[in-house]
Structure formats: structure tokens, C-alpha cells
Amino acid sequence: MATISMARIVPIIISKFIILTLLSPFAIVHATKENQGFLRTLDRKLHGFKKEKLTHFRAYWHDTYSGSNPTAMPVVRPPSNASATLFGSISMIDDPLTEGPGVGSKLIGRAQGLYGSASQAESALFMAMNFVFLEGKYNGSTISILGRNQVFSEVREMPVIGGSGLFRFARGYAHVKTVSFNTKTGDAVVEYNVYVLHY
């Protein structure tokens, strides 16, 4: 009699164990959603993110205040004429990015954003801009640069803080070097070597 009872009980216990084992991941997911309904962990492979890669590109940034079609426009003048650094001034930009330093060089994108004089003691800019690419497989993709640019240093470094399109989740840095600067007009050509980690 005891043998028959055990023979009936063991399959019931095993079947309940199997059901609980199969349902427990769903219970955990459900509990997670209940506790943090606004947040969930995703599998990056299911969203098309493969191995992360490092991309380097070089572009020449043409910042032009002069002429009939300027690409840089002052939107806030310095509050004080006494400031040697133009502290407080802000300019909006839509600068061409080209393959080479010459004005007639092939256009590969635009640098769109703003910069302002952020130091009373030296010529240092706060820069916030997007590089919008117009060429090749990166056409329509962007990277975002946000940082400090000490303009009279030979080489400056600014962080890449994000991107869109093929540069989603981008991070990296830009090495910046002035090629030419006209002290009368404020026009400048600057070389950007950008190193970006992205998927």
C-alpha cells in the first residue's frame, strides 16, 4: 500500500517541480516589471548591436564669419568691451566639414551647434556641436562633441559624448589643431581627428 502511494506521489512532485522550473523565469520577469516598470534589460544582439569597433576620421572644420554667406554667427555679444577673451560671447555655427583644408575640398558633413567664450583669463571656448555626415555609408549619422577648447593651444582634446544612426552609443575623443586663423575676420580652419567607439 505504501509502495503504491509513493508511486503516485513521486510523479506529481516531479511534474510540479518541472512546472515551477519552467515558470520561474516568467515570474522573475513579471516581478522585475512590477518593481521597475519603467526599466528593463535588453539583449543587445536582438537589437542589432554587434561587436564594438573603433573608427578614426579626419575632417577640416571651416568657421567663417566674413563674406556674404557666413557659417558662424554671433548671437550674444560680450557684455563687456573690456574683456580680452570676449568672455560671455556666443556664436551659432553651421560649418562645412571637408576632406582637406582647402575651401574647395570635398564636403563630407556639417558641424552644427554653438560655442561660447567661457573663460575670463584665457581664450577657452565651451563647444557643443553635432557633426552631421553627408557622405558614404555614414550619410545621415551624427556624432556629438561637447567640451572645452583652449583655442591657442597647439593641440586640444574634446570628448565625443554620443551619436545617432551608425554612431548610436558612440563615445570617444577629438584631437583638434588649428590650421589657419585670421585675426581680423575671425575665420578659422581647424583639423579634427576623431576617434569613436561604436557598434
pTM higher than 0.85, yes or no?
no
Lowest-pLDDT range, 17-31, 76-90, 130-144? 17-31
Over residues 68-92, mean pLDDT? 90
DSSP state letters, 147-173: EEEETTSSSEEEEEEEEEGGGTT-EEE
* % helix, strand, coil for the chain, step of 5: 20, 45, 35
Comparing C-alpha atoms, which of 96, 78, 95 is closest to residue 87?
78
CB 33 within 8 A of CB 40: yes
pLDDT of residue 143: 98
Give the bridge partners for 115, in sequence order: 91, 127
